[in-house]
Structure 1
Amino acid sequence: MKTYHYSVLFSALALSWQSTDVAADPLSAHMMEQIIIKGRQTDLLGQASSASEGVIGNAEIRDRPLLRTGEILEFIPGMVVTQHSGSGKANQYFLRGFNLDHGTDFSTFVDGMPVNMRSHGHGQGYTDLSFILPELISQIDYQKGAYHANSGDFSAAGSARFSVQNRTANQVSLALGQDNYRRLVAKGSSQLGRGNVLAAAELQQYDGPWTDIDEDVDKLNGVLRYSQPLASGQLSVTAMAYNNSWNAADQIPARAVASGQIDRLGSLDTTVGGNSDRYSLSTNWYSDAWQANAYVITSEMDLWSNFTYFLTDSVNGDQFEQVDNRRIYGGQLSRHWHHRLGQFALEHVAGVALRYDDIDEVGLYNTRLRQRLNTVRSDRITQGSVGLYSQSDIQLTADWTAHLGLRYDYMDVAVNSALTTANSGDASDDILSLKAGISYQFAPNWQGYINAGQGFHSNDARGATTVADPVTLARIAPVDLLVKSNGAELGLRFFDYTSFNASVALWYLQVDSELLYVGDAGNNEPSRSTERYGVELAAYYWLGSNWSLDVELAFTRSRFTEQEEGEGNFVDGSLPLVASMGLIYKADNSWQASLRLRHFGKRTLDSFNEQRSDTTTVLNAGYQYDWQQWQLALDLLNILDSTDNDIDYFYASRLQGEPAEGEEDRHSHPIEPRTIRAKLTYRF
């Protein structure tokens, strides 16, 4: 690592703080508490700097039935969360015209800890949210677009920050459902001296609806947290533990279903699946003026997949194993202050973020029945980064506020390739990102926004040092380590303080390149520069104290901006339409019922737009009844028993007996059939 870069950045940050005599903002902690309680009913006029950011409260999360933990991100308007494999694998995410894969251009944090994995064995930015207990989330702060200086790597499309509760209700819940679904959750907190101890545990098992395999999910989660006032702020120390194993029902080709070889819930390779674990220790301290966090994370994953069956190896099949074993160290320090400069009121946040990934092994192996046949590539990687950022809000008048942000990121990597020494090496890169915006509150209930900003994502470290294809040894060009994006947004927000909250955003996003390391193949997949634009609408209506209605719509157009011979200009995997609608009725705190509709339109499956998926529509329902210390909850998922697909791809694969070149076909993973789950909770 080039330590002088880090020293210079730390020195600059320290000087900037020492040279400013400021007073702490007395409203920070108050606003945080208010947002936690009210969520989307909180007034963000004059607080938010764009129309596409928001806060999701704990009460909203409790009200919505979830099939998978990762669907928590669907609270973000326009976000789609799907799955193309087993329940223990990171979800597939879609937002703003991106097929984000497993998180490449959307950054996620839990209590300041990054969830996205750099240079991961399965995919760049791999975001597995399975270690989160939804019952412990206090709020989710989300931002779309790269208009905020605190957003760094993987944030071209946006970011989400999960906060964990310091105190929680004491309760035990047992949920049972079809296909041997079982989930036991116990959580509670109590006072200890000047502080508070929170403990929670989750045990989940599930076989799934698949006809050829038992998914055999065996997930265990644990959280232990201590918090107390310290100095003028609040301190918390948190330990998290997660372990999971599963079998997977991967995507399957349409021709295998049409011929009767398998049914739509069947599998062609019944031995794929995985094991994953994550352990972390983190500490956070915040006051009105300062915020600091530090963390250490250990993570391991073994994942077996088979997407092409016998296309490469006609004897053993194309099953492969991806391995990732790492430790992550990091932290962040920021200061918040405000002052006056003449007639202008200024508010600032300045901070520094550090992260270091020590990856013992990231590997790709050809396998049969989960037994290794040979090594495609195996590497050891160290990857470090530092980000320095500053964000300022300038109150120009009572109605006009300017927003200015600046961020500098430096990253360096070292790759030690076990097989091909030519692919070993060092690489480094840095990037400067500018952010700017202005907001105008032209009426007590209305505020308009104009934003522009630059973001970036990192490419896999192996892609930045690889010069020889790991299989053919043919010479290939390394890719850039950091890739810039440029975005802009025009937005409008309305809040009537009683029953209605709405926002609309017209946005644009350009990405220089979407070059990614492909973990499934062990090499680089080049892509052209792209541009996307669209419009998003989110509206929330509270009809008195009993009824609430929400509607979210997103329309997107995604195109390549560079021509390539033999290719079209449609962005593969892009999603042009997302719609979500929810209706909730609450009867005087004794019972409530809810309906939620999720729809996403036909996805582009090839660059000519000749292959498109069908639309997908799912309707879920929930019911809760409270009596004294008991609560009974019923979730009916996929009420209409839709046979739509969670996700579709179009590529070549080969079944046994087919020609050596295989056959191009649509490969899909179906949504799970109608299922009912019942949960009984005892509060004490």
Structure 2
Amino acid sequence: MKQLFTVLVALLIGLCCQVPATAQSTATLRGTVADSLSGLPVAGVSVGLQGQPGGTATDALGQFRLSGLAPGTYSLRVGALGYRAQTVPVALAAGETRSFQLTTAATTLNLSEVTVSQPRDPNQSLAAISHIDQVLRPLNSAQDLLRLVPGLFIAQHAGGGKAEQIFLRGFDCDHGTDFAVSIDGLPVNMVSHAHGQGYADFHFVIPETVEQLKVYKGPYTARFGDFATAGAGEFTTKTRLDHSQVKLEVGQFDTRRALVMLDLLGQNHHLLSKRPESAYVAAEYYFTNSYFDAKQHFKRFNGIAKYTGQLSERTSLTLMGSHFTSNWDASGQIPERGVENGYISRYGSIDPSEGGRTGRTNASIVLTTALPHDAVLRQQAYYSKYDFSLFSNFTFFQRDSINGDEIEQTDDRHLFGYTATYDRDDQLGAHQLHSTLGVGTRNDFSNLGLYRAVQRRILGTTTQGRLFEQNINAYLDETLTLTDRLTVNAAVRADFFTFDFRGQLANEENGGALEPLRGRVSHARISPKLNLYYQLTPAVQLFARSGFGFHSNDARGVIRDANANVLPRAIGSEVGSTFKPVPSLVVNAALWSLHLQDELVYVGDEGVTESTGPTQRYGVDLALRYQLSRRVFLDGDFNYNHGRQIDAPENANYIPLAPTFTSIGGLTYKAPKGLSGSLRYRHIDSRPANDDGSIQARGYFLFDAVLSYTTPRFQIGATAENLLNVQWNQAQFATQTRLLSPVRESPEGVDELHFTPGTPFYAKLNASIFF
């Protein structure tokens, strides 16, 4: 297998280095596509010839090129979801190169115009599905953004301020251990985080500013490295606003939200400026006491400023800055026995002193330059300042019957990074070759701490110290069109990690005395990928994908244990199809498997690394999007997952909390103005919460509804979550805990299901003014 990857990648590198040999008798079409309102280039627009297989898509600067065309008369087809499709007649002579400057205008969604091929980014087989969801599904929070990923479920268990627990493809990804998240090229996942490896707090994103989501399931894409085993989600904020907006929301449980989005340059600025440019600012304030018995006092502020402009015909610049801060109280997870015996209510708390605060400030600069020979160079430098303090109590009085088991986790971090990609299109005789060379580095500097506490007062130190973690990476990705129907994508990625921690660790065998924990370790990982795509018909694309990936261990775990598996490898494969059985129905189906070398988790609550050894998962994903009429849409995601620990005994080989069946769907009425509405459901079935299945995490089935009325000047709306007021468990864990009331339990405690109750019926109203 490795030899096949090596030979194929070497072959494509050799082909890339050859001089393109296009016959003199063929012609070339090239041009740019820009937004008709802003004048800014539009990336990802599908470009092809009517009635002909193949095609291409615009790059980051809105540029496209079609080469090797026989002389003749054609109709150039240009289209993208959410933009009006158009055709342009073209007559080409032998050896001629024709250039076009095209504009495209936004329009209402029409699934009959959706294409199932992805010529520039074939690994994003869910592109059509994701684009449709972005238009149709209502967004009210950063959590809703994560739910746009087909098959992804989330659970919140700390008053709304903590990163969500993520479930995807049979993985309990914890807070991001096996799902990579980014926004505008900024990594969201935190390495060697105070609470958990890969911690992905997405609350610093304002949902109304997000323009696009790209979903990649499995470890098949070279652009992603650490954490991208179950998949990856790339979010992009808007380059411009369609209008300025003020929005107010009020809801049950003292919920209030205010949003302001301001277009700084005006809609017609591009008509007066020599170069297209846009700039906007947005700010959000949110407060809620939530539905728990103890008020949560959750406060959050978000702000973002973004500028996008054309410095020249060949260069664009994007500047972005954002700031986020929040603080909250939390009721925490509670034991079933505490509710059953009446000690607390379903929405009560054992230790109401839980909660925390967190903040993040980001800055990013992106420079995109068109180079000779149809190449594009994109460079990004970014910085994040991150702060985190979390008080939790998961075992109550298991360790300390006097003060309780509360802990504080702290993270004071500076994150610096740089990425660069060189994209180039070549014509190799009759074959098109798209090459991407990427390099990058990420550098984390943090002061980490884990402390024993009571009522948010520090009692002692479990571990603390200074972290330095660096990742240097490079990848080569080649997409070669072998025929009009068959495309091969081969890639290889190299990652080099340095883990450095200088601090102290409490030795429990020595009365908790602090001892040095210091070290520096380096490891590397090579990850090859091989993917095949076959365009059976214009409405049916088949794919077969395979690849190696990994997730990293926490630096403290690496240095503490010399035999630790630092970068456990993931090996994945899948076969499937994206197809349209009828013009208004888009279907994506995949049969997949994934082997993980080590189900490795750093438990920040205890400062230790837990390993359950290798695991094997397989499953089936099915996503359907159907347009019943011009304004009525039906969607559904159905995901079956089966996973087991390989080395564990047969009667104790379950993967705790791994979902087995999930489904999300709904019916939407979408109109450009006037009344719109959506009725949605989400379901996850019961699954084992521990190795032997003796404790079960309980499944649920919920309905939500959204209604809005829109005019060019204003919008009013209402949202209702959990319409049927179902009692359901959100986050769930099998945990051994000890209670002192109403009956003092034995020192060993009780091992049972603990949970955070899900939202009861919850209604919100909102009103927006556009200007």
Equivalent of 2:259, from 185, 188, 191? Answer: 185
- For structure 1, the 5+ residue unaligned runs are 1-14, 468-476
What displacement does 1:43 show? 1.7
| Displacement after TM superposition at 1:586 (Å) | 2.8
> Which residue of 2 is the match for residue 219 of structure 1?
300
User: Compared with structure 1, are the counterparts of its residues 391 and 588 closer, same or farther at alpha carbon in structure 2 (3 Å cutoff)?
Assistant: closer
Which residue identity lines up with residue 345 of structure 1 in the other structure? Q
1:182-228 Cα offsets, whole Å, 9 max, x none, are 000000213276532210000000000111x1111110000011111
* 2:579 partner amino acid: F
Q: Which one scores higher on RCO, CA 8 angstroms, separation ≥ 6? A: 1
Q: 1:65, 1:620 within 8 Å by CA — same for their partners in 2?
A: no
On the 8 A contact 1:36/1:57 being kept in 2, the answer is: no
Instruction: Report the counterpart of residue 243 of structure 1 in structure 2.
Output: 325
Residue 581 of structure 1, aligned match among 655, 665, 678:
665
Secondary structure at the aligned position of 2:599 is classed as coil
How far apart, CA to CA, are the structure 1 residues paired with 2:152 and 2:536?
30
Instruction: Note the C-alpha offset of 1:412.
Output: 0.5
Contact 1:454 1:484 in 2 (8 A): yes
Residues 465, 613 of structure 1: alpha-carbon distance in 2 compared, 3 angstrom cutoff: same
Quote the Cα distance in structure 2 between the aligned partners of 1:458 and 1:570: 23
Any idea what SS the aligned residue of 2:658 has?
Answer: coil
Matched-pair contact (CA < 8 Å) for 1:166–1:226:
yes
Q: 2:387 aligns with which of 268, 289, 300?
A: 300
For 1:81, the aligned partner's letter is I
TM-score by length of 2: 0.82
2: CA distance, partners of 1:40 / 1:337: 32
> Is 1:196 matched with 2:278?
yes
Residue 612 of structure 2 corresponds to 527
2:106 match:
none
2:504 touches 2:517 (CA, 8 Å); kept in 1? no
Are residues 237 and 21 of structure 1, via their aligned partners in 2, closer, same or farther at CA, if it must alter by over 3 Å? farther
Please tell me whether residue 412 in structure 1 is matched to residue 424 in structure 2. Answer: no
Offset of 1:140 from its aligned partner?
A: 0.6
Q: Is the Cα–Cα contact under 8 Å of residues 37 and 57 in structure 1 kept in the other structure?
A: no
1:32 to 1:234, Cα distance in 2 relative to 1, 3 A: farther
Alpha-carbon distance between aligned partners in 1 of 2:528 and 2:295, rounded to the nearest angstrom: 50
- For residues 24 and 198 of structure 1, what CA distance do their matches in structure 2 show? 35
Distance 1:436 1:17 in 2: 17
Distance 1:655 1:675 in 2: 31
2: distance between equivalents of 1:427 and 1:40?
Answer: 53
Q: Does 1:445 align with 2:539?
A: yes
Unmatched 5+ stretches in structure 2 = 1-12, 21-27, 34-40, 46-78, 84-108, 371-375, 506-513
Of 741, 744, 756, the match for 1:669:
756
Give 1:482-631 correspondences, 5 Å limit: 482-495=567-580, 498-563=583-648, 568-587=652-671, 589-631=673-715
SS of residue in 2 equivalent to 1:256: helix
Aligned with 1:128 (options 201, 206, 221)? 201
Instruction: Say which of 25, 39, 43 aligns to 2:115.
Output: 43
- Give the % identical residues: 31
Matched-pair contact (CA < 8 Å) for 1:415–1:461 = yes
Q: Is the 8 A contact 1:51 1:505 kept in 2?
A: no
Q: Partners in 2 of 1:338 and 1:197 — Cα distance?
A: 31
Once the 2 structures are TM-superposed, how far is the Cα of residue 54 of structure 1 from its aligned partner?
Answer: 2.3
Return the letter of the residue paired with 2:380.
N
Q: Which residue of 2 aligns with 1:315?
A: 402
**SS class of match (2:199):** coil
Paired AA for residue 538 in structure 1: A
Task: Say if 2:299 and 2:327, in contact at 8 Å, map to a contact too.
Answer: yes
How far did residue 26 of structure 1 move?
A: 5.3
Q: Quick check: 376-385 or 604-613, which moved more?
A: 604-613
**How many residues matched?**
659
Are residues 137 and 196 of structure 1, via their aligned partners in 2, closer, same or farther at CA, if it must alter by over 3 Å? Answer: same
Letter in 2 for 1:175: E
Cα deviation for residue 447 of structure 1 reads 1.1
The letter of the residue matching 1:616 is Y
Q: Mark the CA change 1:439 to 1:628 in structure 2 (over 3 Å): closer, same or farther.
A: closer
Structure 1 residues 62, 443: CA separation in 2 closer, same or farther (over 3 Å shift)?
closer
Determine the structure 2 residue equivalent to 1:156: 229
Q: Distance in 1 between matches of 2:749 and 2:224?
A: 43
Structure 1 residues 647 and 613, CA, compared in 2 at 3 Å: closer, same or farther?
same
Give the CA RMSD over aligned residues. 2.4
Comparing 117-126 and 651-660, the one that deviates more = 651-660
- In 2, the alpha carbon distance for the partners of 1:663 and 1:249 equals 20
Q: How far off its partner does 1:55 sit?
A: 5.6
C-alpha distance in structure 1 between counterparts of 2:143 and 2:352, whole Å: 24
Q: Is the 8 A contact 1:64 1:622 kept in 2?
A: no
TM superposition shift of 1:558: 0.6
Deviation at 1:573, TM superposition (A): 1.2
C-alpha distance in 2, partners of 1:446/1:510?
Answer: 29
* AA in 1 matched with 2:245: Q
Aligned to 2:519: 425
Contact 1:50 1:491 in 2 (8 A): no
Q: What code does the residue aligned with 1:455 have?
A: G
Match of 1:393 in 2: 479
Which 10-residue stretch deviates more, 68-77 or 44-53? Answer: 44-53
Q: What is the CA-CA distance between 1:660 and the residue it aligns to?
A: 0.7
C-alpha distance in structure 2 between counterparts of 1:444 and 1:32, whole Å: 18
Q: More displaced, 291-300 or 44-53?
A: 44-53
- The residue type paired with residue 276 of structure 1 is T
The question of whether the paired residues in 2 share the 8 Å contact of 1:84 and 1:251 is answered with: yes
Q: Cα deviation per residue 1:265-296 (whole Å; 9 max; x = unaligned)?
A: 11111110000000011012335612221100
SS in 2 for 1:266: coil
CA distance in 1, matches of 2:441, 2:194: 22
Q: 1:221 to 1:454 in 2, by over 3 A?
A: same
| Contact preservation (8 Å) 2:315, 2:369 | yes
> Larger radius of gyration, structure 1 or 2?
2
Matches of 2:317 and 2:126, distance apart in 1: 27
Residues 119-169 of structure 1, C-alpha deviations (whole Å, 9 max, x = no match) = 000000000000001100010111000111101110001101111112112
Q: Does 2:649 align with 1:637?
A: no
**Helix, strand or coil at the partner of 1:135:** helix
CA distance, structure 2, for counterparts of residue 378 and residue 55 of structure 1:
46
Runs of 4+ residues deviating >4 angstroms? 15-31, 33-36, 38-41, 55-63, 65-68, 419-422
Matched, 1:82 2:146: no
- CA distance in 2 between counterparts of 1:223 and 1:24 reads 39
The equivalent residue for 2:87 is none
Following superposition, the deviation at residue 171 of structure 1 comes to 0.6
Aligned counterpart in structure 2 of residue 460 of structure 1, from 545, 554, 560: 554
Q: Are 1:354 and 2:428 counterparts? A: no
- Structure 2 residue identity aligned to 1:414: D
| CA 189–663 in structure 1, closer or farther in 2 if over 3 Å, else same | same
Alignment check: 8 A CA contact 1:86 1:247 kept = yes
